[in-house]
Structure 1
């Protein structure tokens, strides 16, 4: 049951071109940077990525994006990344823009074996009626638009059908994990990492601290090891960034 691997490069080595990935992170919090960098180093391309956002120009998923390795992104927030904007508007990148809570539930549902679910989110908007640009042509016209989704009435309300997300692989970052794959996440890094982990058929986790089985309090485990297949330890001094630092001037 020991799920630890020797290096990030070994853990991602079988991710092929064209694979689908669920990637954890909330902004730049909890990005699995070691795994992303290993994937970049091995040259994997044509990736379809589901993640809350796509990093920034030189960090997180932005590294793969800038190298032209990502063909499609399913995300809820795509700000802070000029290269993302350029690729999308020029027709190089496909984007499935999804409300944040809906994206979270699509990932969770995929991991729970739920094929689809109904939600009020997006009702009466292009999220439901379709027509949102997913990919542009080079001349600026819409090459691919979002489809119309099923709307059904339950009780006195209408709801939109959303399909679950199941990906080939998941890449996640955790604060602590044991050799059986049980994971503990830290603060905002907990927002999307557990959900991304659930949706991947093969989940690869990088942890800051690796402990022995039994050292984690069962009541403190955020994601059980049944969802995790491979683990690497990256250490507690791994670099962490934020999108924008705002501080007060002295004496303010």
Structure 2
């Protein structure tokens, strides 16, 4: 029952090339940065990542992206990463863009054992009709703003069905080989508590992973967490990494806005 790994490096050591990963966080808020850095040092490549976004240039998943470790991304926001845009538009990276709420529910559904569900999000758009560019041909787009460029892989059309006279799109649940998440507190059994904005995609990503690795800012003993305060039960978590105080305090944000 003791799921604590000796280090982040040990916790991610068996992630192979080509593995699929669900990664928690929103922007740089609540990302499992220590685990991402350990995975970067470990050297796995050809990764298929499911995450709200792909970090920023030089931080978070952006570190893996810059070294060409990521082959495919399923996400909902890409606006803070110039290298991401460059790789996508040049045909080097496959990208499946998903409405943000749909992405959250696909992860939750996968973790709950629900294979698919219907949602009104995306009705009447290319999300439902298909044809969204997932991957451009080598060389990419010369004028992406004009829609030019040869699409090598496009999204397929999705099944639609009316409920109460309103059309809905069929979306599939997501499960991944591994999940990397960050929590505020966790015990040795894997029970996790998320704090403030870190309770974004972290619980959902943790549910979707077949092997979930959680870095925690504070490790406590079993019984110290009240059942009422546990956000994610340990059944979803296979490995725990306790952060040092310095690692726990190292929290970045994409843009800091202060009053003059």
Identify which of 232, 235, 240 aligns with 2:251. Answer: 240
Contact 1:207 1:235 (8 Å CA) reproduced? no
Aligned counterpart in structure 1 of residue 152 of structure 2, from 123, 126, 143 = 143
Say which SS state the counterpart of residue 117 (structure 1) adopts: strand
CA distance in 2, matches of 1:68, 1:218: 42
The worse-fitting range, judged by mean Cα deviation, of 108-117 and 135-144 is: 135-144
Quote how far apart the aligned CAs of 1:188 are.
1.0
Q: Aligned residue for 2:224? A: 215
Taking the aligned partners of 2:194 and 2:187, their CA distance within structure 1 comes to: 12
- Structure 2 portions without partners, runs of 5+: 142-149
Stretches of 4+ moved more than 4 A in 1? none
Show CA shifts across 1:195-219 (max 9, x none): 0000000000000100001111211
User: 1:191 Cα shift?
Assistant: 1.0
1:189 corresponds in structure 2 to 198
TM-score w.r.t. the length of structure 1 is 0.97
Using the TM superposition, give the Cα deviation of residue 49 of structure 1 relative to its aligned residue in structure 2, in angstroms.
Answer: 0.2
- Report matched runs for 1:150-229 at 5 Å: 150-229=159-238
Q: Please report how far the alpha carbon of residue 248 of structure 1 lies from its aligned counterpart in structure 2 after TM superposition.
A: 1.2
2:144 is aligned to none
Larger deviation, residues 116-125 vs 234-243: 234-243
Q: Quote how far apart the aligned CAs of 1:139 are.
A: 4.5
Alpha-carbon distance between aligned partners in 2 of 1:103 and 1:139, rounded to the nearest angstrom: 26
For the residue of structure 2 that corresponds to 1:237, the secondary structure is helix
| In 1: Cα distance, 2:140 partner to 2:51 partner | 28
In structure 2, the residue matched to 1:54 is 54
Aligned residues: 249
